[in-house]
Amino acid sequence: MIIEPKVRGFICMTAHPEGCKENVARQISYIKKLGKTEGPKRVLIIGASTGYGLATRIAATYGCDASTIGIMYEKPANDRRTATPGWYNTKAFEEFATADGYYAKTINGDAFSKEIKEQTIELIKSSMGKVDMVVYSLAAPRRTMPDGTIYNSVLKTVGGNFTNKSLNLNNNTITEATIGPATEEEIQATIKVMGGDDWKDWITELDAAGVLEEKAVTIAYSYIGPKLTYPVYYHGTIGLAKEHLYNTSVEITQEFSSRGIKAYICVNKALVTQASSAIPVVPLYFAILYKVMKEHGLHEGCIEQMGRLFHDKLTPVGAIVDEMNRIRLDDYEMQDHIQHKVMELWDQINTENVNELADLTGYWEDFYHMFGFRYENIDYSKDVDI
Ligand code: NAD
C-alpha cells in the first residue's frame, strides 16, 4: 500500500510504518550519543508508545541499560487502515531493543482495567521479578470503570468563557477561539481520567503483588505553562486533574514510606504530541515557543527532555526538585526572557505575520513526524506492508 497523510484538524488518520521506525531510530541514536548514565534497571512505562512515554522508554533502555515493559492502547492495521503510530513505534522499538540485547515487551490494552494490571503483574513476575521504576505517561480521553461507568475528560475552563487567539490548524490562519466552562460533572470526570486515581491503583496493586522493588521511584508527567494558557490549562479542567495528580504523588510517597517508595511529578515542556494538539489556543503558543526557544538554542523534543531527566534530574542520591518536590523539565521554557519574548510575539501575531513570528514549519514538521511522515530519507512513493 502507498500511504499518504490524511490530516483532519489535529489528527492524522494514517501512519507510515517506515517513518515511525525512523522516528524511533532517531530517538535511539540521540540517546546513544548522549552516553550512559546510572539509573533504573527494570522499568514499567504506562503509556509507552508515543510522545513522552515512548521517549522515556528509549532513554531508560539506551541511557540506563534498563529492561522495560510498556503499556499502550493502540490499534493494529486491518485491510482498510494503517495501524496507529504508537503501534508501529512499539513494533520498531521492540525490534531495535531486542536486536541490541535488551528486554522489551509491551502489553496492548486498557491501562485503567483490572485485567491489564493483572497481566502486567504476571509479566513482571515471569520476566524481571520486580520493577524499580514506574512511569505514568497516560494521556487518555476516557476511562471505563470496573462497573462499566465511562468518564470522559474535557478540555474546558472552570468558571467562565475564555477567548483568545488561536491557530486554525486547517489553514494556518489566526482566529479567535472561545472555550466555555465545564459543568461540575465534567470537571469531576476529567479528574477521574487524568488525575491520580489510576496511578495510585497501579502502585497499590504492584506493591500488593510484591513486584515493586523497595525504594522504587514512580513518576507521572504534568504541565503548567504560561499565565496566558492558565484559563484553558492550569486553571482549567485538565489543570485540576493535574493538581489531583500532584496530590496523589504526595499521598503515594506518604503511604508507601515504609517501603521507601518515592513518587514525583515531573513537569515537562510543551510539545506537539497527539494529546497536546487537541487543546485549543495551546498550539499557537507552541508554535511561538518553538520559534523563540530555537532562536535561543534551547528547543527540545520529547527525547531531549527525557535524556535530561535521566542524566540531570534523577541522580543516585535522589531527584533534583523544586520547593514543591516536583522535577522541572519545563525550566528552559519558563525562563523569564523566553516567556517575555513569547508574550511579545503573541500580542503582535496575526494571519499576515504568523509565518514570521511563529515556527509553523517546526510545528507541522513535529506533527507529521509523529505519524511517520515527511522524513526526507523515506521514499513515500514506495509500496509498504502495513
Ligand atoms: P501521547 O498522546 O503521545 O501518549 C499517550 C500514551 O498513553 C500513548 O502511549 C497511548 O497509547 C497511551 N494510552 C492512552 N490511553 C490509554 C489507555 N486507556 N490504556 C493504555 N494506554 C493508553 O501523550 P503525551 O503528550 O506524551 O502525554 C503523556 C503525559 O505527558 C500526559 O500526562 C501529559 O499530560 C503529559 N505532558 C504532556 C506535555 C505535552 O506538551 N505534550 C507536556 C507536559 C506533560
CA distance 356 to 354: 5
Q: Does 139 score more than 80 pLDDT?
A: yes
* Prediction pTM value: 0.98
- Assess if residue 51 is contained within a domain: yes
Q: Does 224 score more than 90 pLDDT?
A: yes
Q: Does 273 score more than 90 pLDDT?
A: no
The protein residue whose alpha carbon is closest to atom 27 in ligand 1 is 139
User: Which residues, in sequence order, are CB contacts of 358 under 8 Å at separation 6+?
Assistant: 167, 284, 287, 288, 290, 291, 345, 349
User: Which residues, in sequence order, are CB contacts of 380 under 8 Å at separation 6+?
Assistant: 2, 3, 4, 16, 19, 373
Ligand 1 centroid distance, CA of 221 (Å)? 9
Residue (of 137, 27, 123) closest to 69 by Cα position: 123
- Assess if residue 329 is contained within a domain: yes
* ipTM above threshold 0.95: yes
- pLDDT of 274: 80
CA distance 310 to 305: 9
Percent of all residues in the chain with a pLDDT value above 90, rounded to a whole number: 94
The protein residue whose alpha carbon is closest to atom 12 in ligand 1 is 47
- Assess if residue 24 is contained within a domain: yes
- Assess if residue 293 is contained within a domain: no
Ligand 1 centroid distance, CA of 138 (Å)? 4
Residues with CB under 6 A from ligand 1: 47-53, 71-74, 86, 110-112, 137-140, 221-223, 268, 270-271, 273-276
Percent of all residues in the chain with a pLDDT value above 70, rounded to a whole number: 100
- Assess if residue 294 is contained within a domain: no
The protein residue whose alpha carbon is closest to atom 21 in ligand 1 is 72
Number of domains in the chain: 1
- Assess if residue 182 is contained within a domain: no
Q: Which atom of ligand 1 is nearest to the CA of 138?
A: 7
- Assess if residue 176 is contained within a domain: no
- Assess if residue 307 is contained within a domain: yes
233 counts as catalytic: yes
- pLDDT of 253: 98
Q: Does 95 score more than 80 pLDDT?
A: yes
The boundaries of the domain holding residue 28 are: 7-146+191-275+299-334
Q: Where are the alpha helices (DSSP H) in 65-183?
A: 85-99, 114-127
Q: Does 278 score more than 80 pLDDT?
A: no
Ligand 1 centroid distance, CA of 235 (Å)? 20
CATH code of the domain in which 18 resides: 3.40.50.720
